[in-house]
Amino acid sequence: LESQAVAAFREATDNDGLEEVRIRFLGAKNGQLKSVQQQMSSVDGPDKKAAGMRLNAAKGNIQASFEQAVEQLSQRAQKSGPAPDPTLPGNPVRLGHVHPVTQTIEHLKEIMGRMGFEVVEGPEVEDPWHNFVALNIPEDHPARDPLDNFYLATAERNGSGKTYAEGDRLLRSQTSTVQIRVMENRQPPIRVISLGRVYRPDEADATHYPMFHQMEGLLIDRGVTMANLKTVLNMFATSYLGEEVKVRFRPSFFPFTEPSVEVDYWWNGSWIEFGGAGMVDPAVLTAVGYDPEEVTGFAFGLGVERLCMRRHAVTDIRDLFSGDIRFLSQF
Ligand code: FA5
């Protein structure tokens, strides 16, 4: 009985189990030790004393192993910590949020939407027709140089003497490609914007990144003039950057607009270039089958990161793409 009891106490794994073993062996009414004690009266004569001593020793051992089991269980409970408190507040779940560039894109769409511009999309992998030819960028133009573009597949051109071929594919270097896609498929009046990624092998610095976003705008109708372009870009700038923003148009050159301007906004004591714009070149209108005598239009392409940086006072474009949660969670 003694060894059975000691083993049972050792094996008890929780308080209920322990209590059950205690009652079985040490229970005051029906415990097994109790019934052995009751049998003592039937032991006679010279054996009585020895039996009594043996019983007391067994009782002591069983009691000791019970106490040891109690001690062990309470130590184990302490190790596994206090019981959970269901009234404590839970651990906060860290929620992700929309990237600042995506937030900017949504904001720009909303502002331009209020001015009646519809959002359209175009592919990021382009052919030379949409990225260059239809935009009046001739074959020998430096903008087509392989060092200034991410060409994907280069068509076979052995013996043709050509540097560039129809089968070439490249990551678009500007969203102006979407102008062509829209004009090829629709008739004026047109009033669209297109926001998306463009790619250039530019060295990354505080204001340049090899992948960035542009917002392209295109408006074609009868009698559209440069004044309309300036009005739209001024309204856009004050909506996005505030009434106090200063906008400057600098004469420039793009093969697909004539005249062309560069658009600068005043920030932190200096003029910063945000994009290019101009009146759509008659050669482009002709390339997509429009009659430049009948319709005119303007186009613009603004750097989305530059706008986002200006609005949120970000001084380095690389921070936007660092993936650093400490930076991103501020937006
Ligand atoms: C263009 O890409 C023309 N397609 C814009 C245009 C559209 C002109 C329609 C006329 C009519 P440009 O190469 O200047 O132009 O780029 C436009 C803007 O993109 C720049 O002003 C700048 O804000 C941004 N940008 C250019 N390169 C980078 C770069 N590496 N990283 C971040 N932003 C850039």
pLDDT in tens, 117-152: 999 999 999 998 999 999 999 888 888 888 889 988
In this prediction, residue 161 carries a pLDDT of 53
pTM flag (> 0.80): no
In this prediction, residue 36 carries a pLDDT of 85
> Could you tell me if the CB of 217 is within 6 A of ligand 1?
no
- The answer to whether 160 and 144 are in contact (CB under 8 A) is no
Q: Determine how many CB atoms are found less than 10 A away from the CB of residue 86.
A: 6
In this prediction, residue 116 carries a pLDDT of 97
pLDDT of 17 above 80 = yes
In tens, the pLDDT along 315-331 reads 999 999 999 989 998 99
The CA-based angle 211-256-233, given to 5 degrees, is 70
What is the Å distance from ligand 1's center to 180 Cα? 17
| Average pLDDT rounded to a whole number, residues 276-304 | 96
Report ipTM (2 d.p.): 0.98
Determine which residue's CA is closest to atom 29 belonging to ligand 1.
208
pLDDT of 48 above 90 = no
Q: Annotated binding site for Mg(2+), which residues?
A: 258
| Average pLDDT rounded to a whole number, residues 83-87 | 84
Minimum-distance ligand 1 atom for the alpha carbon of 202: 30
pLDDT of 159 above 70 = no
Minimum-distance ligand 1 atom for the alpha carbon of 218: 9
pLDDT of 157 above 80 = no
In tens, the pLDDT along 224-259 reads 999 999 999 999 999 999 888 889 999 999 999 999
| Average pLDDT rounded to a whole number, residues 57-80 | 86
- The answer to whether 260 and 276 are in contact (CB under 8 A) is yes
Name the more confident of 115 and 266.
115
Determine which residue's CA is closest to atom 32 belonging to ligand 1.
208
> Could you tell me if the CB of 257 is within 6 A of ligand 1?
yes
- The answer to whether 69 and 12 are in contact (CB under 8 A) is yes
pLDDT of 79 above 60 = yes
> Could you tell me if the CB of 127 is within 6 A of ligand 1?
no
Amino acid letter, residue 264: D
In tens, the pLDDT along 203-222 reads 999 999 999 999 999 999 99
175, 115, 116, 126: which is closest to 303 by C-alpha? 175
In this prediction, residue 272 carries a pLDDT of 85
In this prediction, residue 299 carries a pLDDT of 98
pLDDT of 62 above 70 = yes
